[in-house]
Each structure stands twice: as structure tokens, then as C-alpha cells.
Structure 1
Amino acid sequence: MKITANEIKPGMIIEHKNDYWNVLKTQHVKPGKGGAFNQVELKSVVKGTKLNERFRSNETIEKAEVDEKKFNFLYIDGENCHFMDNSTFEQVEIPKSVTGEQYKLLKENLEVSISFMEEKPISIELPNNIECTIETTDAAIKNQTASSSYKPAILDCGIKINVPPFVESGEKIIIDTRTLEYVKRVN
């Protein structure tokens, strides 16, 4: 299926240079001179290599045909994550290497979308926002405005992110799973 370069979003699988690529990040750039383009970070589904590519806004890209199914997360054993289809109770095993850092955010019974290409799982998509707990964070520095600075924090799952100065250790927050950035504090 053909799509324009502006429609490329993180999590998509595209065909490019005789390979299948998972879109990791996109950034739309409109320079002062010349035409607009989409700067895209790609990771090869087959080889695992990364590639940064620029697509002009008027270019068309082939979106790969993938089957997406909803699964619930069960557990992690060593190097694999286990998921179950709620309708058929079929279980699927996916190596941690396919999920990247996302496996750290998996919680029991969390519903995810798994993309399959030729019956082989190639990527998982988590809900856009997930609730996490701050394990440790630095103390806020006085006279620092919330808009100007963030401080480092470690989540209960081991992921390091930056949070506003008013967030303390032990608090629950919502993070964006696509960018691993702070969204809001949960009351």
C-alpha cells in the first residue's frame, strides 16, 4: 500500500531498499530554503541494522503488509516475552531483542498489538501511555522553574527518564511509550 512520506509514523513497517524497516522516530523538517522533508530513523526487521533516511514530502513509500493482532502480556522468562490471544488462547513467544526497551514496560495482562509478517512476530506496539512509579529521583533545586529544567529519574522498571522538579520518589506518573517521556503525574 502506497503512502506519502508525511504519513510515516513510529511503529510502522515500510519497504525500502529491498528490505523491511521498522520506523523508530520521525521528524518533519521545513528548512528555510528548499522543500520540506521527513527525517526518519529506521531499523531493519531482518538484519537489525539502523538507517537514517530523508524522504521528501511528495515522495511515496510502500507500507508493508502486516497482520496485527491484539494479545495480552503474560510473563518474561530469560530472553523471551510470552503473550496470549484472548479469543483463541493461543500463546506466542517473542525475543526481547524484537521489543527493544519496550519489554521493561510490560505489565501482567497489558494489552498490546503484535505485528506479524509471514506468521513471524516482528514488532509489538504498547498503549501510548502507561502508568509507572518513580523509584528514585534527585531532590529539586530551589529557585528553579518547572519549565526550564528537568531532573533525571529511574522508574520501577529500570528505565531512566527526565521528570519535572516537582515529581518525587515513590510517585506514580504517566509516560509516553513511544518517546519514553514524562506526560503527567497521577494523583
Structure 2
Amino acid sequence: MPKINGNEIRPGNILEHDGHLWSAVKVDHVKPGKGGAFAQVEMRNLRNGSKLNERFRSADKVERVRLDQKDQQFLYETDGKLVFMDLESYEQIEIDSELLGERRAFLQDGMMVKIEYYDDEALNATVPQKVTCKIVETEPVVKGQTAANSFKPAVLDNGVRVMVPPFVGQDEDIVVNTETMEYAERA
């Protein structure tokens, strides 16, 4: 695995540190008035989700890990496990539903999900950035309410609450950004 200097760490990098795999969440480069510069790195453990703040000087060497990414199709959920299928080998794998976190609600049957592997261990799963959902409950359209920044609450078919523009009504399909959990556009 390639070693990188402490000042080359960027958010999103996967690092091996103290025998564990960490994802760099936030990186601040600090140049104090006295002493050498360093990178203050907030990291999240990929296996148990714990967080760690660590300082790396530019002379420090850190192992950077590359994860293999595979697109896999979601089949079903059973006992808190999500079952996916590799479309090339038709092999099925189970991963914890907690791996997706709050994005779990956007998972739909047959959806392609990007799963990141370290050796044969699934460490991360990413749903598509934009997902189409149906609005099951929202307030009716009020005539004359055309203020540019007015939004109203809506409940989607998966139970997630989002804010939508006033012109969007019940039983309409909308596109939701899964990263920000916000309305993107009409479907």
C-alpha cells in the first residue's frame, strides 16, 4: 500500500492507522506561530463508526488504502441484513443495514448500490445520489403563495420528511438528493 505524508491527507481518504481502517472526514492544516505545521485530521473508524482526532506532521508517513468498488443490486432485507447480488458472478452477500445509516430509507428493490470492499470485507455502501420518490402527504396548494423561498413539509412513500416547493402536490413523483436529504426536482 502506498505511504503518503501527513500533509497530503484529504477528506475521503481511507487510512490505516494503529491497526484500524479510518476514513478522513475533516482535515485542517494548521501553521502555528511556533513549531512546525501539521494537519489536524478528524477520522471515522470504518468498522465500528468511532471517531478520532489525530495530528499528523508533514514528516509523518501514513498508509493510504484503496478500496475496491463494486456495483451490486439490492434484493431484499432480512433480520437487519441487506442482501445484494453481484451481477457478474451472481454471488449474493449480506451486509448490516446500519452501513447505510439514514440513507437506508431510499433503498428500493432492484436498485444498484456501490459497495466498497477491503479484501473481502464490505466496509461502505452508497445509494445513488438522486432517487425518485412519491409524495404521500403534503399540504394543498395555496393560490397566490409564490414567494421564491417558501417551502412546505411533505412525507414521502418511504417515510422520510422533506421540504418541497408549494407547487408540488400529493401523489406526485419527485427526485430527492440522498446526500443532502432535500428536494431536487420534479420527476
Partner of 1:150: 151
Q: Aligned letter for 1:147?
A: A
Partner of 2:89: helix, strand, or coil? coil
After superposition, residues 31-180 of structure 1 pair within 5 angstroms as: 43-50=44-51, 63-140=64-141, 143-180=144-181
* Counterpart contact for 1:74–1:82, Cα < 8 Å: yes
Structure having the higher Rg: 2
Measured against aligned partners, the alpha-carbon deviations of 1:92-111 in whole angstroms (never above 9, x if no partner) come to 10111111122211111111
Q: d(CA) in 1 for partners of 2:117 and 2:17?
A: 20
Q: d(CA) in 2 for partners of 1:167 and 1:177?
A: 19
Q: Aligned letter for 2:102?
A: E
Structure 1 unaligned residues grouped into runs of 5+: 29-38
Q: Aligned letter for 1:14?
A: I
Partner of 1:97: helix, strand, or coil? helix
TM-score, normalising length: structure 1: 0.73
Residue 115 of structure 1: how far off its partner (Å): 0.5
Q: Aligned letter for 1:49?
A: S
Partner of 2:31: none
Q: Aligned letter for 1:155?
A: L
Q: d(CA) in 1 for partners of 2:126 and 2:182?
A: 16
Q: d(CA) in 1 for partners of 2:27 and 2:157?
A: 30
Q: Aligned letter for 1:127?
A: P
Partner of 1:15: 15
Q: d(CA) in 2 for partners of 1:154 and 1:86?
A: 33
Give the percent of matched residue pairs that are identical in Structure 1 and Structure 2.
Answer: 34
Note closer, same or farther for the CA distance 1:138–1:43 as it changes in structure 2 (3 Å cut).
farther
Q: d(CA) in 2 for partners of 1:41 and 1:162?
A: 31
Partner of 1:84: helix, strand, or coil? strand
Residue 49 of structure 1: how far off its partner (Å): 2.4
Q: d(CA) in 2 for partners of 1:171 and 1:179?
A: 20
Residue 16 of structure 1: how far off its partner (Å): 7.2
Measured against aligned partners, the alpha-carbon deviations of 1:75-103 in whole angstroms (never above 9, x if no partner) come to 11130111000010000101111111222
Structure 2 unaligned residues grouped into runs of 5+: 29-39
Provide the aligned length of Structure 1 versus Structure 2: 168
Partner of 2:32: none
Q: Aligned letter for 1:97?
A: E
Note closer, same or farther for the CA distance 1:93–1:174 as it changes in structure 2 (3 Å cut).
same
Q: d(CA) in 2 for partners of 1:61 and 1:183?
A: 39
Alignment RMSD, CA only?
3.4
Q: Aligned letter for 2:94?
A: E
TM-score, normalising length: structure 2: 0.73
Residue 64 of structure 1: how far off its partner (Å): 2.8
Residue 46 of structure 1: how far off its partner (Å): 2.1
